[in-house]
Chain A
């Protein structure tokens, strides 16, 4: 008899998720019908290639050649980010053209632009987006602030969910400003509590808010149907969808959008114990977020953009005290559930390599930006598959020859013995077409393991 999920080891869970990735399903749970036998063959070869690189058990047939773009497919397809956010079909077509033209070993979906109308309906304030604070031809950018004040640590620690619904969300969405009028859901106990706890739903501001939620939900669903269709069509053409969702390092969750960079860095001096308690409180939530995504989509890779732990953002001592312990817990929690965390070390991570290197082998994939890859291979790379390192200035301003020379060095030294995936090192919006083509095509030719 087959083992239940709970009975499986971490190893078996990971294998199970990879097997599910190898047999993609549509939104009704039926097997994807491949467009041709070649497409099916390509799909399986691609997933297997990436799987072998990550697991580091056997050598892949060649170094996988991947692109992890930001808004590049949108510009490449001749759209402005504004058009991509408001015309879902155009966004779909631009991404499809991008995948078919560059023919990489995976794709990262078509969701980067997101649905502008949903943000409008909800009056989203955490970002400026094209037409709303930035020009139509530019990408959205986060608006940093202290969306959680320094004296709210206890509220967050006591009940993160309640803190989000009653304090944080009303601050970042203008239309959710009536959330604080709603009672705590855990107060609905026994028959006596029922009627009282539902009275707030009769109040006009709450009804107004619920209307906005319903409208936003309908629009988000419309968008998701188009974008979900993209993943299915790409699979049918032989291109695996790379990610099953995202989660974050707890320090970044707190620092990026709650306390802000300034806030969290001062908290390291002013209230270190509260900060550590809050990181602990968020950790299980970050684990669940990743595990739920992987199980829902039936793929193992969960993306983790790393921000405030990069070289220069703090000392190694501060990294070891405030950043790494909770990040490590999240990564191990994901690994326990068979998930493969994909942390993206944006910026430099050179001084952290020795701190983060001792993770279980074949269980993580690290996207590397401005990092000495050859030292990374000798440290972190002993246990973890490395991804990336073609840098953005080179992609935007370099030549195909320069790209090929560097790609050759990466394949020779970092690809040696497996455990490496060729890709860009950080997300890019602009690049020269011939440069993007150069590293993908070159890896297919030169990256074959003999």
Chain B
């Protein structure tokens, strides 16, 4: 039956996936195995996204189905689900910019690919990034931004990390609607990504490979 669940999730059959989860739990299935099936399904969704078969709507729908299933399963879990992760990645939309859709997709894709993501949200002050790097010891930071003003905020953030003496210990990637090689050079980041799969590849290359 968990094979069916994987298929339902991969094919965006929301009602079926939710029902199958309930049925599985009722039949005494181990909640961790159900989560495993979800993980398998999300891997496939991610691969289809990478191949250009799936796009934003499927990622949003997959995230939504995953949330619903997690809500159903959580009460049955007994704190044993601490899955091992590839590492911690900090993500946030830079100061002055409140766009979140691109950032959320990156968070989702990193998450389903096994990273622990610290999502700082939108309009994140420079100091907040610096503090979070110190607190978490994360080795990868992703800065998101949609507006041209984000170029400056990205640069300020990278500069502040340098000043705090943390630059050598962290890899920084940037992304957003109007980001390219030029903006990467200007901001002082290590790399830029065109989409969420780029973010996963970069993070894997740095800490998860």
B205 CB–A CB distance under 8 Å: no
Bound: A314/B53 CA distance, A? 10
In the bound complex, do residue B96 and residue A135 qualify as a contact, i.e. CB atoms below 8 Å apart? yes
A265 CB–B CB distance under 8 Å: yes
Which of A179-187, A204-212, A235-243, A392-400 lies on the face that meets chain B?
A: A392-400
A266 CB–B CB distance under 8 Å: yes
Interface positions of B from 174 to 194, Cβ below 8 Å from A:
177-180, 182-183, 185-186
Determine the chain B residues whose CB is within 8 A of the CB of A393 once the complex forms.
151, 178-180, 182-183
Determine the chain A residues whose CB is within 8 A of the CB of B64 once the complex forms.
262, 266
In the bound complex, do residue B178 and residue A138 qualify as a contact, i.e. CB atoms below 8 Å apart? no
Determine the chain A residues whose CB is within 8 A of the CB of B56 once the complex forms.
261, 265, 312-314
Query: Chain A: interface residue count, which band?
Result: 20 to 34
In the bound complex, do residue A394 and residue B182 qualify as a contact, i.e. CB atoms below 8 Å apart? yes
Which of B33-41, B76-84, B97-105 lies on the face that meets chain A?
A: B97-105
B57 CB–A CB distance under 8 Å: yes
Interface positions of A from 112 to 154, Cβ below 8 Å from B:
128, 134-135, 138-139, 141, 143-144
Per-residue CB contact flags for chain B residues 42-75 toward chain A (1 = under 8 Å, else 0) read 0000000000011111001100100000000000
In the bound complex, do residue A430 and residue B14 qualify as a contact, i.e. CB atoms below 8 Å apart? no
Per-residue CB contact flags for chain A residues 267-282 toward chain B (1 = under 8 Å, else 0) read 0111000000000000
Q: What residue of chain B has the Cβ atom nearest to residue A315's Cβ?
A: B55
Nearest CB of A to B191, in Å: 15
In the bound complex, do residue A270 and residue B14 qualify as a contact, i.e. CB atoms below 8 Å apart? yes
Determine the chain A residues whose CB is within 8 A of the CB of B177 once the complex forms.
346-347
Q: What residue of chain B has the Cβ atom nearest to residue A263's Cβ?
A: B60
B149 CB–A CB distance under 8 Å: yes
Determine the chain B residues whose CB is within 8 A of the CB of A442 once the complex forms.
none
In the bound complex, do residue A392 and residue B178 qualify as a contact, i.e. CB atoms below 8 Å apart? yes
Picked from A128, A270, A394, the residue with its CB within 8 Å of the CB of B98 is A128
In the bound complex, do residue B151 and residue A261 qualify as a contact, i.e. CB atoms below 8 Å apart? no
In the bound complex, do residue A318 and residue B178 qualify as a contact, i.e. CB atoms below 8 Å apart? no
Determine the chain A residues whose CB is within 8 A of the CB of B147 once the complex forms.
139, 141, 429
Picked from A143, A391, A430, the residue with its CB within 8 Å of the CB of B149 is A430
9 chain-A/chain-B pairs, Cβ below 8 angstroms = A134-B96, A261-B60, A266-B60, A315-B54, A315-B55, A318-B55, A391-B178, A396-B151, A428-B148
Query: What 8 A-B pairs come out closest when comparing CB atoms?
Result: A265-B57, A393-B182, A392-B178, A397-B182, A265-B60, A430-B148, A393-B180, A397-B186
